[in-house]
Structure formats: structure tokens, C-alpha cells
Amino acid sequence: MPHCVEVPMRPVALSIVLLLAAGGCAADGTDEPSAIIVVTALAGPTCPVETDPPSPECAPRPVVDAVIVVVDPGGSEVARAATGADGTVSIAVPAGTLIVTPQPVEGLPGTAPPSTVTVPPGSSISVAADYDTGIR
């Protein structure tokens, strides 16, 4: 039976290496296949008028401490984590079909919509969580 390790939330590259080194252990320490979901939370627009081409100072900004909840199709929570200073978080989850549900963030009127993803065992996928700033 392989020894399972808990995968740290950041940095993403280290998380992926640790997942692969863990021999496919689930986030709960069992021998079920594991995977990683990397969520990037950004808030935009950041300027009242967007230009074409876009102005770099008006790029979407990272959302710090956005809570991301991952549930199975039955609605049971399988993981929960918060984004870091760069707006990203790496979450170890059991492989399969899951729903990534960003939670409301204080100061942002628009919450990013949920995303349904299918994560194969031993793999990593990226999910964008786009929050609305309300700037128009």
C-alpha cells in the first residue's frame, strides 16, 4: 500500500510533483486515484472603459482569499481552499466528475459561476473563476 502525502496548495508545480510522487493517493489519504484542480480567480473589468487593444493597467486582477469549494455530483463537499496572492490555488481532489464552486467575495458584486469538470486520475486541470467587479 503506498504512503499518501497531503498536497500543499502552492506552488502549483510542487503540488503536481507531490501528487505524482504520492502514487495517485486521494486527498483524504486513501488509495483512491487523485487529481489536482488549479483554480485561477480574476476580477474584471478593472477600468470603466475597455480599449482595443486592451490597456495593460486595465487587466483583470487576482482575487486573493477567494474560497473555492469542490463538490461531487451529489453535492457532497470533497475539498475547500482559498486562493493566494496571485489568485491561484491548487486543490487535491479525487479523480472523476466534480463541480468547482467559487464562493462570494466581499467587495465584489459578481460571483464566478460554478464549473463542472472531469479530472482523470493522476492529472491536473485548470479552471478559471472570473469574478465581476461591477465597474461599467
80 contacts: CB under 8 Å, gap ≥ 6: 67, 68, 69, 70
Residue 33 lies in a domain: yes
Residue 63 lies in a domain: yes
pLDDT band at 12 (very low <50, low <70, confident <90, very high): very low
- Name the residue with cell 475539498: 79
Domain count, the chain: 1
pLDDT digits (tens, 9 = 90+) for 90-101: 999 999 999 999
* 72 phi, psi to nearest 5 deg: -85, 170
Mean pLDDT of 109-131: 96
| Residues of the domain holding 75 | 12-132
Residue 2 lies in a domain: no
Rounded Cα–Cα distance for residues 38 and 122 (Å): 13
Residue 87 lies in a domain: yes
Whichever domain contains 20, its CATH number is 2.60.40.10
pLDDT digits (tens, 9 = 90+) for 60-119: 999 999 999 999 999 999 999 999 999 999 999 999 999 999 999 999 998 999 999 999
Residue 3 lies in a domain: no
Residue 116 lies in a domain: yes
Residue 99 lies in a domain: yes
Residue 6 lies in a domain: no
Instruction: Check residue 104 and give its pLDDT.
Output: 98
Full-model pTM:
0.76
